[in-house]
Structure 1
Amino acid sequence: MSTPRIEAALRIAADAAHRNPFSTPSDGRPRTRRFAIGDPQADITRFLAILDRHGLLAPDGRLKPEVQLISVGDHFDWGKAIERDAVATSSVRLLAWMAAHPADQLIPLLGNHDLSRVGELAGFTDARFATIQAEADRLYRGDATDEAQERDFLARYPEVPNVELISRDFGTFREVQREWVKSLLLTGRFRVAHAPAEHLLVLHAGVTREDLLAVGLPDALHAQASTVAETLNRALDEALNAWDGRGPFSIPSLYQPGNARYGEGRGIFYQRPSLLPEEAALRALTPRRRFDPRRLPPGLTQVVGHTRDKRCRELLALPPDSHDGVLRHLVTDGSSLDYRLGPPPHTGPGEAVLIFTDGGMRESPLELFELLDLDTGFAARPVEDAHMGGRE
């Protein structure tokens, strides 16, 4: 999996991670090759290998100067309990490697796992988290977790909504991660959304018409990707200006972290498309954890991560199947919808589109994992394997 370019990138990442959190300013250079990569919940070496396989790394271990990369969010939390320390280190190095690039070249978008560091986990020290996690590990048994024991746990630790969050979902937390997330938020490096084209929006989990109306954007502007991105990013910045930097961070109407009283976190970083009848009540909330995909803004194509193929099929009540690595799409005209593998076909102004990029980076075979070429709308083409192994 290693090449000289990957080794150089790993050195940059390790060195950058030992610095105080920082962000490299924009350099204003034109980027002629633009890509989006789905949830980077995998070891940094694997992440870099995917980039290198697609010919995006320069010999010095950074992105090639002409490349712009959009990371669709969720830079933390994967693996088994025994891997927690290694995962925690890898995730910080990944963010640090990203921060070492100009801000207009590598754009990290926020996911729910990123926001959790200043949300549900805002008040935890490493020592307190380790103590609570040891208890959560003893209690957590999936659906068989004892309800009475969990209620007692939450009475003592009301900052979190359940034991699963501490034992599994956000289980690789370290204080240094929060410092990086906080810094990248306050410097404007972490964004909610990015608009690479007039009707093309990139963000973690997608927005509905209700989400955009809730932040004051009228229906007539919902297909204008740059306006949508500006509105969402402005909501983030206004929330940051109102935040004390210590308590749990939230964005009115868009993001509410979970706790024992509120339940699980909700909002545009958590929500997934669902047609399951039993989730109708969840779809009716704002903010929410589920949304009706028929309420997506028509005329807008949204590039998202957050949900893998197997989970999409479950929530959309489709026959079970699972394809890791590949891009997928959902197209709806507001009444019917079509979910398939691959990039979407040509669509009209009355149709809404989701392009899913979460290919299960950790589990997908490396040779199957696809990036989205934002200029062509198709999966990026890898370079020849023989070329990848050589020195430059």
Structure 2
Amino acid sequence: MNEALLQKALARADAAVAKGPHATPAEGRHRTRHVVMGDPQADFDRVLTLLALHGLLGSDGGLRPDVCLVSVGDHFDWGPASERDRVARSGLRLVAWLASHPADQAVLLLGNHDLGRVGELADFTDATFRAAQVEADQLYAGDDTDAAAERDFIARWPALPTVELAARDFSTWREEQRAWVEHLLRARRFRVAHAAGDSLLVLHAGVTREDLDVVGLEPGRWAEAGAVAEALNGVMDRAVAAWTGGPLVLPGLHHPGNAASGEGMGIFYQRPSLQTEDTERVRGTPRRRFDPRRLPLGLTQVVGHTRDKRVRELVSPGPVRDGVLRHLVTDGTRVDYAHGPPPETGAGEAVMVFTDGAMREGRAEDFELFDLDARRAVPLDGR
């Protein structure tokens, strides 16, 4: 990436951070290129490099005027414990940089890591979170974490469902990030879903027929992306309007975790699974697993959240590749999963396009962005 362009983009981000939480309103300009970016859990420099490689950055360090970029969420939390401060700053720069663009040029969708700022960690301060994290770091050992010690930990910190959440999952949380997320929620800049076409929906992890039934959308409209987005965003907007403190809950859609109820549940956490051991987990809502055969027929959902490795483990064994777009197609009975953009499908099929390609791993040139207009990967030269 051109160093001068990188410095302009970084300066724009730093100016946005310094200004404090804010959001630029839509300007009503026609955009001719509509692109989805999978989970941007990577250094801000890396995100900018990817956008530049695909011809999406303008000479001023922002997005080109003809571009509408949709970020599928999870703008925070990655990397080792030794880099937490740098990573925390990087995630904040990214969110501020995106929010500095007009709302019709940069669409910010919520992921579970974004909601964690106002969910599980809503009542923490920087000082109390650091105290909890010091303890968590001493205890956390992956699958070998001592169960008795973990029970004692969450008894002391009842807002947390696990040691892992403080030590790894939401490990770069900061109060300043929470302030930004809250502002962008109240400004209706952070959204649950974005309708990119008549039957083309973008959101973090996907919804099933059960999820749409929960929000009261009649079955005859489940293939209408606009109606689905309106219903999902409506639940969030009403919840935010009524929210006066504590963890933000989106009734039926998102329940943050805690010591009493366990891990967070809902549409920002859930992943597809056909595993026998998940048979009970996919029933009802909210949940952390869903049966892909229950996706709404006629609707194409573009999602992040789930990498190829996890889909291979939960749905369809096969070779794993990072960076590439992937798709799942079902008619309610069969489930087909493969690398590459989605094929042509009919009204009797549901489609899911996966865009989380592990952004911080591998070569930047190998990471694919999704062109919502052409329904394929964006060429590296942007043409």
Structure 2 residue 293 is the aligned partner of structure 1 residue 294 = yes
Q: Who is 1:109 aligned against?
A: 109
Q: TM-score, normalised by structure 1?
A: 0.96
Secondary structure of 2:365's counterpart equals: helix
Residue identity matched to 1:381 = P
1: CA distance, partners of 2:363 / 2:58: 23
Preserved CA contact (<8 Å) 2:153 2:163: yes
2: CA distance, partners of 1:99 / 1:3: 23
1: CA distance, partners of 2:5 / 2:158: 46
Q: Who is 2:35 aligned against?
A: 35
Q: Who is 1:366 aligned against?
A: 364
2: CA distance, partners of 1:23 / 1:364: 32
Q: Who is 1:329 aligned against?
A: 327
Q: TM-score, normalised by structure 2?
A: 0.99
1: CA distance, partners of 2:362 / 2:356: 10
Residue identity matched to 1:75 = H
2: CA distance, partners of 1:76 / 1:91: 5
Structure 2 residue 78 is the aligned partner of structure 1 residue 78 = yes
Residue identity matched to 2:284 = L
Q: Who is 1:275 aligned against?
A: 274
1: CA distance, partners of 2:316 / 2:131: 40
> CA offset at residue 317 of structure 1?
4.7
RMSD (Å), alpha carbons: 1.1
Q: Who is 1:220 aligned against?
A: 220
Q: Where does structure 1 differ by over 6 angstroms across 4 or more consecutive aligned residues?
A: none
Q: Who is 2:311 aligned against?
A: 312
Q: Who is 1:175 aligned against?
A: 175
Q: Deviation digits for residues 214-272 of structure 1, max 9, x if unmatched?
A: 0001111000001000111111101111111x200010000000001111001000000
> CA offset at residue 364 of structure 1?
2.9
Q: Deviation digits for residues 188-209 of structure 1, max 9, x if unmatched?
A: 0000000110000000000000
> CA offset at residue 160 of structure 1?
0.8
Q: Deviation digits for residues 168-198 of structure 1, max 9, x if unmatched?
A: 0000000000000000000000000001100
Preserved CA contact (<8 Å) 2:210 2:284: no
2: CA distance, partners of 1:307 / 1:65: 30
Q: Who is 1:254 aligned against?
A: 253
Residue identity matched to 2:226 = S
Residue identity matched to 1:239 = A
Preserved CA contact (<8 Å) 1:6 1:52: no
Aligned length: 383
> CA offset at residue 383 of structure 1?
1.1
Q: Who is 1:8 aligned against?
A: 8
Secondary structure of 1:195's counterpart equals: strand
Preserved CA contact (<8 Å) 1:276 1:317: no
2: CA distance, partners of 1:143 / 1:96: 35
> CA offset at residue 19 of structure 1?
1.6
Residue identity matched to 2:268 = F
> CA offset at residue 300 of structure 1?
0.2
Q: Who is 1:390 aligned against?
A: none
Preserved CA contact (<8 Å) 2:299 2:350: yes
Preserved CA contact (<8 Å) 1:23 1:189: yes
Preserved CA contact (<8 Å) 1:4 1:59: no
Secondary structure of 2:86's counterpart equals: helix
- 5+ unaligned residues in a row in structure 1: which ranges? 388-392
- Give the fraction of aligned pairs with identical amino acids, expressed as a percent: 60
- 5+ unaligned residues in a row in structure 2: which ranges? none
Residue identity matched to 2:333 = S
2: CA distance, partners of 1:21 / 1:159: 25
Alignment of 1:75-224 (within 5 A): 75-224=75-224
> CA offset at residue 4 of structure 1?
2.3
Residue identity matched to 1:308 = R
